[in-house]
Amino acid sequence: VTIPAFGQVGDSKSFVFAPYVVDRLAFSARWQGFVGARFDVLNYEDTPSGTDRDDTNLSPLLGLVFAPTKDLSLHLSAGSSFAPPSTQVVGPREPEKGKQLEAGAKLQFLEGKAFLGGSFYTLQRENIAIPDSSGLLKEVGDQRSRGFELDFTAEPRKGLVTYVSYAFTDSELTRFSDSVFTGTGYLVTDRSGN
């Protein structure tokens, strides 16, 4: 921490049990889908702060794949997520939740020896832990991330496989306020948009 007097000690335990099921559906030779869900059971305990939380959450996921040709497939998927709170957050802790939407394509060429894929995505996360001006983590933030990924795989010779990938992410805090001590008092600064 930036101010030694505000150091913290903790003894947190987090137990997560999260089975999931996914089923692939074939509607026709060109259309396929998948549906699934993850069921999270969370037990979180932090004795020094007196926090004891039991949460459950069902996180569904859906997807659709369209293959106009045998070498090209287009996909669209959506899902949600659930994660334990950060053990380093000071004060009340809520589980982190998220929602994601993704669309992309995959192309196969050179008689199945090369693949080119790309996807665009948007991801929204709530209750994320962000350090404030004192260096302590606070769980008061929401974040939106958008980006794309490209990947290329080829096997020019038997036994020689090459991979090239690139990813770009643009993340923005959509909700986060920070309290800054100015010497005469605290000033609340809205850092949304950073």
List Cβ neighbours of 31 (8 Å cut-off, separation of 6 or more).
Answer: 64, 65, 66, 67
Mean pLDDT of the chain: 83
Give residue for tokens 């805090």: 173
DSSP H/E element including 136: none
Per-residue pLDDT band for 20 (boundaries 50, 70, 90) equals: confident
Whether residue 44 is predicted with pLDDT greater than 80 in this model: the reply is no
Cα dihedral 188, 127, 173, 132 in deg (nearest 10)? 40
- 150 — pLDDT class (breaks 50, 70, 90): very high
Indicate the Cα dihedral angle 176, 177, 178, 182, nearest 10°. Answer: 150
